[in-house]
Amino acid sequence: MSRIEVKDGTTIYYKDWGNGPVVMFSHGWPLNSDAWDGQLHFLAENGFRVIAHDRRGHGRSGQAWSANDMNGYADDLAAVIETLDFKGVTFVGHSTGGGEVARYIGRHGTKRVAAAVLGRWISSGYGACKAASRTSSIASKHFRRLTLPRTSRNSICPL
């Protein structure tokens, strides 16, 4: 199993399958990386390297007392990306995962970002957060909101 330890000591679990251009998946609340298995298998079998992590407090990642907010989630995502030294990442985020990707862009910029798909994403995070409007405005400059079709098996179709 692949894990990294972030600044506050929380362990973040991630799946890392395939070879090729990197596609990184962020799950919705209260799911974990297993929610993306259909998409991960499809893309890994078709020439992509796919990464999906369990957000802190979810699945196989550690339970933390702090940073359980969009800033913490975005910083954890950045730690995975920086640890694996990814560049040119295509992000796919659903629901809270979309908000996490948008916040990542707002806090860490687009240096490592090739594209993003934000399906039914939470644009402002939870509660009144100072960075929420900044995140939404930065993300909207680079990406447009998408509503992806449903299938009978998955809430997000393979790309």
Q: Convert the pLDDT of each residue in 24-81 to its tens digit.
A: 999 998 899 999 999 999 999 999 999 999 999 999 999 999 999 999 999 999 999 9
Predicted local distance difference test score (pLDDT) of residue 123: 61
Residue 120: pLDDT band with limits 50, 70, 90: confident
Question: What distance in Å separates the CA atoms of residue 134 and residue 102, rounded to the nearest whole number?
Answer: 10
- Superfamily per CATH, domain 2-142: Alpha/Beta hydrolase fold, catalytic domain (3.40.50.1820)
Predicted local distance difference test score (pLDDT) of residue 119: 85
Q: 59-83: buried (b, 16+ CB within 10 Å) or exposed (e) per residue?
A: bbbbebeebeebbbbbbbbbbbbee
Q: What percent of the chain has pLDDT over 70?
A: 75
Query: 143: which residues sit within 8 A by CB, 6+ positions away?
Result: 105, 115, 116, 118
Distances (CA, A) of 150 to 22, 97, 117: 23, 17, 15
If you ran DSSP here, which 8-state letter would residue 126 be given? S
- Domain ranges for the chain: 2-142
